A and B are shown apart, each in its own frame.
Chain A
Amino acid sequence: GIQVEQSPPDLILQEGANSTLRCNFSDSVNNLQWFHQNPWGQLINLFYIPSGTKQNGRLSATTVATERYSLLYISSSQTTDSGVYFCAVDGTGGFKTIFGAGTRLFVKA
Chain B
Amino acid sequence: DADVTQTPRNRITKTGKRIMLECSQTKGHDRMYWYRQDPGLGLRLIYYSFDVKDINKGEISDGYSVSRQAQAKFSLSLESAIPNQTALYFCATSPGYSYEQYFGPGTRLTVT
Q: Chain A residues in contact with chain B, CB under 8 A?
A: 4, 30-31, 33, 35, 41-43, 45, 48, 86, 88, 90, 95-102
22 residue pairs bridging A and B, Cβ less than 8 Å apart: A4-B42, A30-B99, A33-B100, A33-B101, A41-B106, A42-B105, A45-B102, A48-B100, A86-B43, A88-B42, A90-B99, A95-B56, A95-B99, A96-B45, A96-B59, A97-B45, A97-B101, A98-B59, A99-B42, A101-B41, A101-B42, A102-B41
Residues of B in contact with A, size category: 20 to 34
Residues of B with C-beta under 8 A to A88: 42-43, 101
Residues of B with C-beta under 8 A to A35: 103
CA A77 to CA B78, docked complex, whole Å: 41
CA A85 to CA B108, docked complex, whole Å: 20
Judged by a CB distance under 8 angstroms, whether B73 is at the interface is no
Nearest-neighbour CB distance to chain A for B43, whole angstroms, equals 5
* Chain A binding surface, main DSSP class: strand
**Contact between A100 and B45 (Cβ–Cβ < 8 Å)?**
no
Nearest-neighbour CB distance to chain B for A7, whole angstroms, equals 14
**Contact between A43 and B90 (Cβ–Cβ < 8 Å)?**
yes
Residues of B with C-beta under 8 A to A98: 59
**Contact between B44 and A99 (Cβ–Cβ < 8 Å)?**
yes
Residues of A with C-beta under 8 A to B59: 96, 98
Nearest-neighbour CB distance to chain B for A72, whole angstroms, equals 15
Q: What 0/1 readout, one digit per residue, does chain B (25-47) give for beta carbons within 8 Å of chain A?
A: 00000000100000011111100
Residues of A with C-beta under 8 A to B108: 41
CA A49 to CA B16, docked complex, whole Å: 42
**Contact between B33 and A41 (Cβ–Cβ < 8 Å)?**
no
Residues of B with C-beta under 8 A to A4: 42
Are A97 and B106 also in contact (CB < 8 A) when A45-B100, A48-B100 are?
A: no
**Contact between B99 and A31 (Cβ–Cβ < 8 Å)?**
yes
Q: Which residue of A lies closest to B99 (CB)?
A: A31
Q: What 0/1 readout, one digit per residue, does chain B (91-109) give for beta carbons within 8 Å of chain A?
A: 0000000111111011010
Residues of A with C-beta under 8 A to B106: 41-43
